[in-house]
Amino acid sequence: MSTVHTHVDTHVHDAHDHGPAKGWRRWVFATNHKDIGTMYLLFSLAMFFVGGVMALIIRAELFQPGLQLVDPMFFNSMTTMHALVMIFGAVMPAFVGLANWMIPLQIGAPDMALPRMNNFSFWILPFAFTLLLSTLFVEGGAPASGWTMYPPLSLQTGPAFPMSIFAIHLMGASSIMGAINVIVTIMNMRAPGMTLLKMPLFTWGWLITAYLIIAVMPVLAGAVTMLLTDHFFGTTFFSAAGGGDPVMYQHIFWFFGHPEVYIMILPAFGVISEIIPTFSRKRLFGYDAMVYAIASIAFLSFIVWAHHMFTVGMPLAGQMFFMLATMLIAVPTGVKVFNWAATMYKGSLTFEPPMLFALAFVFLFTIGGFSGLMLAIAPADFQYHDTYFVVAHFHYVLVPGAVFAIMAAVYFWLPKWTGRMYNMKLAKTHFWLSAIFVNVLFFPQHFLGLAGMPRRIPDYSTQFADWNMVSSIGAFGFGFAQILFLIVILQSIRGRSGVKATDKVWDDGMPQGLEWTLSSPPPYHSFEVAPEVK
């Protein structure tokens, strides 16, 4: 990690400095990385609540056996839309928002390298999601074949089909433009002396993530384009009747889908690597190893895709390869977890909200990692496949994993963004309610899966009733706890909490890094004179 010495007063502005435009023009024509970052974060917060309502509809229906509240077709639409909204609307834009805000500040750049493209990549998203969500109101309902959109089932979707495919293309274009911007910024806009191995780990995590996005989002785009031509133009890429292969779609989809999981978790690793040293008051243990671990995980993510499809039938050698390659991911992931633990060892720990979320991340993400190892075992996966065990696994990785990391990041950097501390008591209450209810929600799903409850069904056998009820109670608890998150953020934005944040925000010694040399909030145009890093 870099030690930062700024030779220029970064608070001083030159004579050409100007503030933001007035009114709606500031946001519609935004090119400032801070404004675009704010819009991304607010958009993702809105989508988090939209996707959350869909999750609550699912859990309300599953509260007890039998069909209670919704039509089974609508239930399937909810599982599909919940996934699409949360992945492409909540988690990915949240990390892009954090990248927009923090990467220029962390590398000492005045803005992102391509600010107009930055504006375009954000403003695509509201249109994409309006289109996607509007499928709920078309004849035949929203897509209901799961976010994986396996043919031939997905080809039976009604008018929602081309709408959702166009929406996915738009989201992909937005992500690719965002990723190009991140790479170009990091490779060309670093302050003098900011070598690659001096960059903060959040920036490193994002650099590698951006390459992953460029490598795999076009694969998803290709897959759904071929679905579209199969549906409307008489091709038979994935139709066995015409000489095509439906399993081929699954290979292509998961060649995108598995790296996509890492797209959602590598920036989270970066966030955690920023927070734990700050609240341990120690330098990060094994910085270089952390960078190489992120790169290793990214590389391995390309050669494990078929572990999602052991049950479609594949040669034994294929099963062995994908099983062992998947297990190999535990090595760099273990390096990261042990390095976080070593950073905390003999540290002067305090437990402010960002640290609480980061600690919960380390414990609970690791649970998701271990259940992932269980799923990687090919013969065992025949038992677990398409059960609630899988649902429990990936929700542990994504909710107390990626989502907790986003919340940790917001609580970590919010005082820097707004210039005001937030209500610590309310934030800690938000943490404890979230941490307790997320486990009440997802841990019982391991038991349901092991007992054989299949995923994506609106009704189930009565033997699964008890744990489903517990899980649903957890879901509503977790859902309502997030209202506190909203209140904390709104209070901080409006300056209701009152206490002014210092430049370093958390401690005079830590955190280190260029962003903490700026005022809180940072000036609208920061680092117009590049700082020098030694």
Instruction: State which of positions 231-270 bind other proteins (CB under 8 A).
Output: 236-237, 243-245, 248, 252, 255
Indicate which residues carry an active-site annotation. 82, 111, 147, 174-175, 258, 260, 262, 273, 307-308, 333, 336, 455
Q: Is 312 in the site for other proteins (CB under 8 A)?
A: no
Q: Which stretch binds other proteins (CB under 8 A): 38-46, 59-67, 77-85, 219-227?
A: 219-227
Q: Which of 129/255 has CB closer to other proteins?
A: 255
Give the nearest distance from C-beta 248 to other proteins in angstroms: 6
Of 405, 376, 402, 404, the residue nearest 389 (C-alpha): 376
Q: Which stretch binds other proteins (CB under 8 A): 86-94, 196-204, 215-223, 501-509?
A: 215-223
Contact in structure between 145 and 80 (CB atoms under 8 Å)? yes
Of 85, 89, 108, 90, the residue nearest 33 (C-alpha): 108
Using CA atoms, how far apart are residues 167 and 224, in angstroms rounded to an integer? Answer: 11
Using CA atoms, how far apart are residues 306 and 254, in angstroms rounded to an integer? Answer: 7
In the structure encoding, which two tokens stand for residue 153, read together? Answer: 């089932």
Q: Residue 232: left (phi > 0), alpha (psi -120 to 50), or beta?
A: alpha
**Site mask for other proteins (CB under 8 A), range 187-206, x = bound:** xxx-----------------
Give the nearest distance from C-beta 180 to other proteins in angstroms: 5
Of 37, 30, 189, the residue nearest 106 (C-alpha): 189
Amino acid at 33: H
Q: Which of 114/342 has CB closer to other proteins?
A: 114
Give the nearest distance from C-beta 114 to other proteins in angstroms: 6
Instruction: State which of positions 95-134 bind other proteins (CB under 8 A).
Output: 113-114, 117
Phi, psi of 239 (to 5 degrees): -110, 115
Phi, psi of 311 (to 5 degrees): -80, -5
Q: Is 207 in the site for other proteins (CB under 8 A)?
A: no
Instruction: State which of positions 147-176 bind other proteins (CB under 8 A).
Output: 176
Of 180, 144, 185, 178, the residue nearest 164 (C-alpha): 144
Q: Helix 201-232 crosses helix 92-107 at what angle (to 10 degrees)? A: 140
Give the nearest distance from C-beta 151 to other proteins in angstroms: 12
Residue 19 burial class via C-beta count within 10 angstroms: exposed 0-12, middle 13-18, buried 19 and up: exposed
Q: Is 219 in the site for other proteins (CB under 8 A)?
A: yes
Considering only residues 36, 165, 223, 367, which one is a binding residue for other proteins as defined by CB under 8 A?
223
Q: Is 403 in the site for other proteins (CB under 8 A)?
A: no
Q: Is 179 in the site for other proteins (CB under 8 A)?
A: yes
Report the interface residues with other proteins, using CB under 8 A: 113-114, 117, 176, 179-181, 183-184, 187-189, 214-219, 221-223, 225-226, 236-237, 243-245, 248, 252, 255
